[in-house]
Structure formats: structure tokens, C-alpha cells
């Protein structure tokens, strides 16, 4: 079965919009054990649209077309479909009523130009769009089933999930199982998993989103029960380097662990500058455990907000295990939290030295009775990459602490310079 | 002149990687007054690669191929080019030496598998890659100039900028001029710019990255001097709704304005939870003006860290102009800063009420002598969108203050419920 996708629009082709719809659609197909044979992007030009549609329909069994359903003059998808089928466009009374209701609900007059969105090729099947003004539609050409979908990502995703994927003949496959590691290199993960014995028909996939690596297990559904053993083997092999299964969302994981233990968290951040707090607060319900954050970017702020002593800063420098400890302990003392996390480091591109190069970052996790701290040499080409890795590393300390696992990950991507426990 | 792009690789096709290289390449072409006629993505499969390459070469004058130059068995681009040209692969001694040096510099043995990266089709022109192990190469087929480039974004971008774009025949065009607005809808911008008189051959382009809109002016180079008048008209029409020209980077703009005035900034954040601080600190050199941040997610934190009174919180609620004012004034009092910005709001999806629905966000900007505050109803479908718009709105207040412009933007995308000045 050949499935293709055609994205239309000058903004996509010229790169003003990154085509995340196409990537999302590819992922959804993979979940169903299917895949695109080809994806294309072309401009808003009627004759090109018609000829490329025809070309795709000759090759493919299923074609997903995205974009060009808006009310403006450069939205040409319906017209192109009509030319392709050699039929006129006709007013779809059902969708026109729908549009009028849509505008009435918003207490606005429907602009004339929107009538265009109810004009469909004669014989096309209307596909509902419950959250927007652009309906989809389906046609058949050269035995190819073609679905036209709106470009707005939320509308596209809903239409794809509810109207297109259920129509596709499913592959005979088990749901994809996912494992997430932190701090290991691709070759490190690969080497560890060499010893894995996979049943015939099953295969592994990797996705590197440094410093995390996602391991995916693909298999036909007949292998489902045999796979349980494989999953257990993967857990055993990765040990505590495995931080999560099924989802790699750090913030959701931390929230679940913190809420389960009814603990409250405070953060003290220097180089990450609020990124740690911001990532945690991204998840709704984070108020259940996130107590407060200190963005202590200057030495004065570290002293005044966290009580870090001037002598520590002078003697060891702001980027030191000692200051990280004092920051976490200060955050604990100056908050209502049970656990405090701190990050202080050199995110670059300037500020590095021979002794403490760019990427040197110190971390501490403090509770009333304990303090764990470490100094790492993070890799990453940019300031942003170093800050993001620093945040993930701090969260890796926290999940290890909350799960009572060994605190020091066997990272091979990241060099540990020093670790302390008191 | 027809220019096409072909991206290869299962990870791209299946959406594990979002194809940012393609978007970036499209933008670079636009800067040169050129554009892609078509972009395609196909899987790592030799016969498909060869036939699609042949198909592209028959249509295009220039073809950019991305990916498939790595050392592993699914990297097939060089082999496909050899089949296409009906020539063998041969070892490129120059690149082999280069690879050996690369590994020697890293004090590592070169793996056998990397020799593959020095195997090029006979007659191909080697294209240098100064920052990676995958060299590019160029061939000609059906009179089409084909360049093969590595998939790693940094390597791809460097090769494109330095080796491909200079080879392309340039369109006769002036550099694209960009204007950035905040808080206006697309139709609002469109309506305002109706009165603009463009010289023949010039045109406008829009890119909506809500709540910002980028306006681009494209024109042939002959119009360059006439365009100065157009640019000035745009400035006059947009007035202070224009927040920036040439770059839409808020953080860089704020940094430049703050450093020029030698002022220091503190932030007090509730619903944005560190996002404001984090976005500012993203830019290197932010330590020159960013003093500290308070992430006061709980009422207790607002009281203890900023001195917001319990009676204000009880009487007006945490999301109120009164509390926003107290947060900004508290941040000023509890820091070494000259200006403090505060954000407190309901990011959702829960927590809204009839009186204060999700998206209600209050802001204040305080200095030693003044306090500006407002309550807005932000639009945005998600928690993340609301938090991001809140941060941009706070920064819009700050740039208006620093430039001594009217503090209350004429937003048509965002409803202002209340404003105060003292």
C-alpha cells in the first residue's frame, strides 16, 4: 500500500513555516505500523497543483493533501481538485449553514470571502472540521483515495486522527513500546543492547534527542506476549539509566513522582535562569508541588536571596560544587519546600577558563537531612543546548532521589568531574 | 530557473526528525530572491533514490540533496549518485587523509566504517565540510547541477551558505526588509497597510507568529532608493505598534535597550513561572542588565519573597492589577534593580472563572517613581501559548517604557480590561 503526502503553500515551501504537520503525520502513521512512501511540498499555483496531484494519484493508494483550504485567493486546493476531476465547484449548503452558525456564535458577521470555504468539487465527500471554518473533503482519482485537510495544525491533527487514520487499512502490528534513557550516547545505548535477543519480525528504532535517547520496539501483534520478555530485558540492561517508559516528558514524570510523595520543590537557578522552573510549570497542576523559584543570576542575588556567603563565592567561585550546595540549602531555608534543586554553570559562549571551560555546570539537591551535589562537563555546541542539558540533568538527579535510585548516572555523554554526598 | 530540494532518510519521512533544514534552505533562497519549485522527502532505499533523483534532474536546473552521507549502511546517497551516473565509486584520497586527521585530532582511532565517507562517484566534485566527517559532492545529470549535503544541521547550513548559494545565479533583488509588530491581527495589519503605495515590482509578505506579525518587503534592486520612502511610510502607519525592524528577537532588543541606558532588571513571575527570565537569559551578555528573578508561584511565595500583603491577595485575588503592582514593587524593593516587571495570570486549562476566565493576565512595570499596570484577556488555545504571549506582552511594556513610547499598545488581538498608571 503506497501512502503519500502533499503539503501546499508558499509559506511552507519558502520555510516561513516549518512543516510540523508533515512530521506529526509521519509519526501517527508509524504508530499504526504504516509509513509514507514520499512527501512533497509545492507552491500555491493552480497548474502545478493539478499536475502534481495527478502524478501522486497515479503512484499512491492514499494521498493526504494539507493546506490551501482558507478563504483567500491563494487557497486553491478545492479548485485544483475540481480541475483534476473535470467537475465544477458547487456550494455545499450544509457547510455554509455551519459557517454562518460559527460566526453567529462569535457575534460576528460572516465575511463574503468565507463562502469560498463551502465550495466543493461536485461529488466530493465533505469531511467535518469541528474546530475551524475550513471543512476537509475526500475524492477518488486514479483509484487513489485523496483527503484534503486544513493547514492549521490543531484542525489538521484532529481531522487526521478522527477521519483519516481510521479509514486506513491497518498493518498487523503491536503498539510501539518506548524507553527513554538520559546521558547515554547512541553508540553507548547500541552497545548495551547488543546482547538483546529479539524475536524474528521485531526490530528496534532509536531517536536521539540529546541528552535523551528514545528506544522504540516495533513488532507484529502476534509477538505481543513474547515482547514482554524483551521489554523486561531492556529494563534490566538499561537499569537506572532508563528514566521513563512510554513518554519522555520530564516535567510530567517529576510532577507525578512529587505529587505521589506529597513533597514540595524549590529551585535556585543561575545559568539556567528560570528555565528549570518554567519547564516544570509548563504542566497544568504543577502548583500541587512547585513552591517557588529563585533566579539568582548575579552574585549579589545569590547572597541576598539564598544567603550564599561572600567568602564561598570568592573562594570557590560562583560555579562550584560548594556554591551549588549553598544555593540548594539556601533555597530550602528560604522557602516552604521539602526538596531544593540548584544549578550554577557556564553556559557560554564567553566566561569559560582553562580550569572551568564553557559547559562546566554544578548541581545540588538538598533536603532537610541530605545534600547531593556534582560538577559535570556538559557537551553542547550552543548556550541554549548547555542550558537545556543542565535542566535535564537536574531533573535526572531529582527523579533518582525520588525513586531512591543511585544518584550518580553512568553518563557516557557527560563527564563527571566531582560528586559529593552529605 | 527551477530549483528543487530532495531530503532523504526514514527519520525525516517518519517524522522522528522535523525537517528544519528544508525550512532554513527555503528562507536562504528567499533572501537571494529565489525559491524552491518543489521539495520532496523519500526513504533510504536505493532504487527509489535513483529514480527520484533522475526525475528531479529532468525537471530542475539545480537540485539540493540532503542526508544519507553518514558511515552506516542506510546512508546511500553516494551509491545512488554512482548508479544514476552509471559510474563506480572511488576512494577520494584527499578526504580519507582529512578523516584520519579529524580522528587523530580527537585522539581516537578512525573506525573502518568511516572509509565509506571518502568513497565518491567517479567524476564528482568534492565539496569541503570543515566541521564534520561527511564531505559533500556535486554532480551534473540531465544538465541539472546536483549538490549532495550532510544531514547534520550545522554542517548542512555551513555548506549551503558557503558552497551552494554563491554558485546560484542571483535574482536581481534588494535585500528583504522586515518589520515586526506585536498584538495586531493579520487582518488588522493588512487593513492599516492598505493605504501604502508600492512601486511596481515591489510586494509585501506576511508571516504570522502570533502574537507577532512579521511584514516583509520584497523588491528588485533597481527600486532600492524608492523603497526608502515605502519603509518610512510603513513606520508612520504602524507607529508604536512596530516594535522592531530587521530582527524579531525580543530578548536581544531588550538587552540592547537596557544596556544602552545602563539599567538593571528584576522579574516577578507567577503563571509564566520563570519563562520571562529564561527567555532574557537566553542571550549571551544578559548578565549585563538582568539582576534577578522571583518565581512566586504560590501565594506564600508572593508574600515571603516580594512582601505582597495577605489582605491584597484575599481581597483582589492573586490574579489582579493590585497584586501585579505589589509584585513589581516588591521585586524592586527586594533587588538591586532599577526596573521590575511582574506577571500574574490564569494560564489554564483549569482555574478560570466567569469573572476571570483562562487567559486573564495582569502585568506591572515598576520603577522607583512610577508604576504602570494592566489587565489583559489573552487569546491562545493552550497553556503554553498563553504563557508565551504573557511574556511577550510584558516585554512589550518594557520596550515601550524604555523608548518613552505610549505604554498601552493598540492591540486588536488582545483585549485590555483595565490599565493604571501612578
Residues B113 and B226 in one domain: no
Q: Look at A37-51, A206-220, A320-334 and tell me which has the smallest mean pLDDT.
A: A206-220
Distance from CA of A3 to the nearest CA of B (A): 12
A382 touches chain B (CB under 8 A): no
Q: Which residues in chain B have their CB less than 8 angstroms from residue A350's CB?
A: 284-285
Residues B75 and B117 in one domain: yes
Which three three-digit cell numbers place residue A335? 522557602
Residues A191 and A155 in one domain: no
- At residue A98, does pLDDT exceed 90? yes
The answer to the question of residue B56 being in a domain is yes
* A208 pLDDT tier (thresholds 50, 70, 90): confident
CB B37 within 8 A of CB B3: yes
Q: Which residues in chain B have their CB less than 8 angstroms from residue A18's CB?
A: 18-20, 23
Q: Which of B10, B15, B43 sits opposite A23 (nearest CB)?
A: B15
Which three three-digit cell numbers place residue B169? 545565479
Test A381 with B154 for CB contact under 8 angstroms.
yes
B86 touches chain A (CB under 8 A): no
pLDDT of residue A404: 96
pLDDT of residue A205: 81
Test B275 with A273 for CB contact under 8 angstroms.
no
Location of C-alpha cell 481538485 = A81
Cα torsion at A90, A94, A98, A99 (round to 10°)?
10
Q: Look at A254-258, A307-311, B165-169 and tell me which has the smallest mean pLDDT.
A: B165-169
Residues A240 and A258 in one domain: no
Residues B254 and B400 in one domain: yes
d(CA A59, CA A68): 22
Test B292 with A305 for CB contact under 8 angstroms.
yes
Residues B267 and B382 in one domain: yes
d(CA B103, CA B133): 9
pTM: 0.86
B278 touches chain A (CB under 8 A): yes
pLDDT tens per residue, range A23-41: 999 999 988 888 999 999 9
Q: Which residues in chain A have their CB less than 8 angstroms from residue B271's CB?
A: 281
Q: Which of B40, B286, B294 sits opposite A40 (nearest CB)?
A: B40
pLDDT of residue B137: 97
A383 touches chain B (CB under 8 A): yes
Edge-to-edge strand ranges of the sheet holding B415-421 = A415-421, A371-377, A360-366, A339-345, A265-269, A290-295, B290-295, B265-269, B339-345, B360-366, B371-377, B415-421
- Cβ contacts below 8 Å, chain A against chain B, sum to 232
Test A295 with B300 for CB contact under 8 angstroms.
no
User: Which chain B residue is nearest to residue A153, measuring alpha carbons?
Assistant: B381
Test A23 with B11 for CB contact under 8 angstroms.
no
- A233-239: long-range contacts at Cβ-Cβ below 8 A with a sequence spacing of 24 or more? A233/A196, A233/A197, A234/A179, A234/A193, A234/A196, A235/A179, A237/A192, A237/A193, A237/A195, A237/A196, A238/A179, A238/A181, A238/A189, A238/A192
Test A14 with B27 for CB contact under 8 angstroms.
yes
User: Which chain B residue is nearest to residue A337, measuring alpha carbons?
Assistant: B301
End-to-end CA distance of chain A: 61
The answer to the question of residue B205 being in a domain is yes
Test B278 with A278 for CB contact under 8 angstroms.
yes
Test A284 with B18 for CB contact under 8 angstroms.
no
pLDDT of residue A313: 97
The answer to the question of residue B172 being in a domain is no
pLDDT tens per residue, range A106-160: 777 787 888 899 999 999 999 999 988 899 999 999 999 999 999 989 899 999 9
Q: Which residues in chain A have their CB less than 8 angstroms from residue B41's CB?
A: 22, 36, 38-40
Q: Supply the CATH number for residue B256's domain.
A: 3.90.950.20
Test A273 with B281 for CB contact under 8 angstroms.
yes
Residues B241 and B334 in one domain: no
Q: Which residues in chain B have their CB less than 8 angstroms from residue A40's CB?
A: 38-41
**pLDDT tens, N- to C-terminus, chain B (422 residues):** 999 999 999 889 988 888 999 999 999 998 888 899 999 999 989 999 999 999 999 999 999 999 999 887 788 999 999 999 999 999 999 999 999 998 888 777 788 888 999 999 999 999 999 988 899 999 999 999 999 999 989 899 999 999 999 999 877 788 889 999 998 887 788 888 888 988 988 888 877 777 788 898 988 888 888 889 999 999 999 999 999 999 999 999 999 999 999 999 999 999 999 999 999 999 999 999 999 999 999 999 999 999 999 999 999 999 999 999 999 999 999 999 999 999 999 998 888 999 999 999 999 999 999 999 999 998 767 899 899 999 999 999 999 999 999 999 988 878 899 999 99
Closest among A18, A37, A127 to A78, alpha carbons compared: A127
Q: Which residues in chain B have their CB less than 8 angstroms from residue A22's CB?
A: 15, 19, 41
- A328-331: long-range contacts at Cβ-Cβ below 8 A with a sequence spacing of 24 or more? A328/A268, A328/A364, A328/A365, A328/A366, A328/A371, A328/A373, A329/A364, A329/A366, A329/A371, A330/A268, A330/A294, A330/A302, A330/A305, A330/A306, A331/A266, A331/A267, A331/A268, A331/A294, A331/A306, A331/A366
pLDDT of residue A414: 87
d(CA B325, CA B321): 6
d(CA B272, CA A282): 9
User: Which chain A residue is nearest to residue B38, measuring alpha carbons?
Assistant: A42
User: What mean pLDDT, rounded, does chain A reach?
Assistant: 92
Distance from CA of B412 to the nearest CA of A (A): 15
Q: Which of B26, B29, B291 sits opposite A301 (nearest CB)?
A: B291
Cα-to-chain-centroid distance, residue A100: 36
Residues B235 and B373 in one domain: no
Distance from CA of A257 to the nearest CA of B (A): 19
Residues A160 and A275 in one domain: no
**How many C-beta neighbours within 10 Å does residue B409 have?**
23
Q: Which residues in chain B have their CB less than 8 angstroms from residue A294's CB?
A: 292-295
A207 touches chain B (CB under 8 A): yes
What per-residue string of b and e applies to A207-222 under the rule 16 or more CB within 10 Å gives b? bbebbbbbbebbbbee
Q: Average pLDDT for residues A174-187, to the nearest whole number?
A: 87
Test B30 with A37 for CB contact under 8 angstroms.
no
d(CA A149, CA A147): 6
Cis peptide before A139 (omega within 30 of 0): no
d(CA B392, CA A312): 37
Mutate to test the interface with A, among B265, B288, B293, B319 (most CBs of A within 10 A): B293
User: Which chain A residue is nearest to residue B288, measuring alpha carbons?
Assistant: A298
A221 touches chain B (CB under 8 A): no
Top pLDDT among A71 and B332 is at: B332
Q: Which residues in chain A have their CB less than 8 angstroms from residue B280's CB?
A: 273
The answer to the question of residue A172 being in a domain is no
The DSSP-derived string for B329-354 is HHHHHTSS-SEEEEEEE--SSS---S
d(CA A385, CA B349): 29
Residues A163 and A232 in one domain: no
Distance from CA of B52 to the nearest CA of A (A): 10
Angle at B31 between CA B25 and CA B33, to 5 degrees: 105
d(CA A46, CA A41): 14
Q: Do the strands A242-245 and A177-182 form a parallel or antiparallel pair, or are they unpaired?
A: antiparallel
* A413 pLDDT tier (thresholds 50, 70, 90): confident
Test B292 with A290 for CB contact under 8 angstroms.
no
Q: Supply the CATH number for residue B144's domain.
A: 3.40.980.10
Give the end of a domain, one of A230, A245, A260: A245
The answer to the question of residue A85 being in a domain is yes
Test A292 with B291 for CB contact under 8 angstroms.
no
User: Which chain A residue is nearest to residue B380, measuring alpha carbons?
Assistant: A154
Test B37 with A43 for CB contact under 8 angstroms.
yes
Test B281 with A297 for CB contact under 8 angstroms.
yes
Enumerate residues 6+ apart whose C-beta is below 8 A from A96: A115, A118
Location of C-alpha cell 506476549 = A225
Q: Which residues in chain B have their CB less than 8 angstroms from residue A112's CB?
A: none
- At residue A56, does pLDDT exceed 80? yes
The answer to the question of residue B68 being in a domain is yes
Instruction: Write out the residue range of the structural domain in which residue A91 sits.
Output: 3-167
Residues A298 and A320 in one domain: yes
The 3-state DSSP class for residue B247 equals coil
B175 touches chain A (CB under 8 A): no
Q: Supply the CATH number for residue A232's domain.
A: 3.30.70.2860
d(CA A292, CA B201): 56
pLDDT of residue A197: 87
Residues B256 and B240 in one domain: no
Give the end of a domain, one of B133, B167, B201: B167
User: Which chain B residue is nearest to residue A213, measuring alpha carbons?
Assistant: B16
B294 touches chain A (CB under 8 A): yes
Which three three-digit cell numbers place residue B175? 535585500
Give the end of a domain, one of B132, B167, B202: B167
Mutate to test the interface with B, among A293, A332, A352 (most CBs of B within 10 A): A293
pLDDT tens per residue, range A338-387: 999 999 999 988 889 999 999 999 999 999 999 999 999 987 678 998 99
CB A178 within 8 A of CB A247: yes
* Overall number of domains in chain A: 3
pLDDT of residue A362: 98
Question: Would you tell me which residues 14-53 of chain B have a C-beta closer than 8 angstroms to some C-beta of chain A?
Answer: 14-20, 22-30, 35-43, 48, 52
Q: Which of B207, B273, B384 sits opposite A277 (nearest CB)?
A: B273
The answer to the question of residue B139 being in a domain is yes
Amino acid at each position: 500500500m503506497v501512502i503519500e503526502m502533499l503539503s501546499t503553500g508558499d509559506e511552507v515551501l519558502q520555510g516561513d513555516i516549518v512543516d510540523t504537520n508533515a512530521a506529526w503525520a509521519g509519526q501517527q502513521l508509524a504508530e499504526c505500523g504504516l509509513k509514507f512512501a514520499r512527501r512533497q511540498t509545492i507552491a500555491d499555483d493552480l497548474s502545478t497543483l493539478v499536475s502534481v496531484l495527478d502524478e501522486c494519484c497515479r503512484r499512491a493508494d492514499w494521498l493526504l493533501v494539507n493546506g490551501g483550504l482558507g478563504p483567500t485567493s491563494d487557497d486553491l486546493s478545492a479548485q485544483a481538485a475540481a480541475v483534476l476531476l473535470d467537475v465544477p465547484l458547487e456550494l455545499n449548503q450544509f457547510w455554509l449553514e455551519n459557517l454562518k452558525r460559527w460566526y453567529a456564535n462569535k457575534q460576528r458577521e460572516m465575511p463574503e470571502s468565507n463562502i469560498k470555504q463551502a465550495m466543493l468539487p461536485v461529488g466530493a465527500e465533505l469531511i467535518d472540521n469541528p474546530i475551524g471554518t475550513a471543512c476537509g473533503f475526500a475524492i477518488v482519482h486514479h483509484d487513489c483515495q485523496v483527503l484534503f485537510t486544513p493547514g492549521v495544525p490543531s484542525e489538521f491533527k484532529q481531522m487526521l486522527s478522527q477521519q483519516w487514520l481510521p479509514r486506513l487499512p491497518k498493518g498487523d502490528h503491536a503498539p510501539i513500546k518506548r524507553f527513554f534513557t538520559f546521558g547515554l550516547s547512541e553508540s553507548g545505548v547500541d552497545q548495551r543492547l547488543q546482547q538483546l535477543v529479539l524475536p524474528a519480525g521485531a526490530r528496534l528504532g532509536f531517536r536521539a534527542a540529546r541528552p535523551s535517547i528514545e528506544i522504540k520496539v516495533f513488532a507484529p501483534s502476534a509477538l505481543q506476549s513474547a515482547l514482554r520478555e524483551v521489554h523486561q530485558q531492556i529494563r534490566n540492561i538499561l537499569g537506572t539509566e532508563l528514566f521513563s517508559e512510554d513518554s519522555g516528558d520530564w516535567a510530567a514524570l517529576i510532577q507525578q513522582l512529587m505529587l505521589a510523595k506529597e513533597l514540595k520543590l524549590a529551585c535556585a537557578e543561575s545559568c539556567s535562569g528560570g528555565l528549570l522552573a518554567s519547564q516544570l510549570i509548563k504542566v497544568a497542576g504543577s502548583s500541587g508541588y512547585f513552591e517557588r523559584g529563585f533566579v539568582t543570576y548575579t552574585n549579589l542575588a545569590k547572597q541576598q536571596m539564598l544567603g550564599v556567603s561572600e567568602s564561598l563565592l570568592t573562594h570557590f567561585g560562583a560555579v562550584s560544587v560548594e556554591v551549588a550546595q549553598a544555593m540548594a540549602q539556601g533555597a530550602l531555608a528560604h522557602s516552604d519546600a521539602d526538596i531544593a534543586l540548584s544549578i550554577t554553570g557556564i553556559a557560554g559562549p564567553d566566561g569559560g577558563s582553562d580550569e572551568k571551560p564553557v559547559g562546566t555546570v554544578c548541581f545540588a539537591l538538598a533536603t532537610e537531612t541530605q545534600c547531593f551535589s556534582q560538577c559535570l562537563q556538559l557537551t553542547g555546541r550552543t548556550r541554549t543546548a548547555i542550558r537545556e542539558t543542565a535542566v535535564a540533568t537536574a531533573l535526572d538527579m531529582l527523579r533518582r532521589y525520588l525513586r531512591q535510585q543511585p544518584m550518580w548516572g553512568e553518563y557516557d555523554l557527560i563527564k563527571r568531574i566531582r560528586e559529593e554526598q552529605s
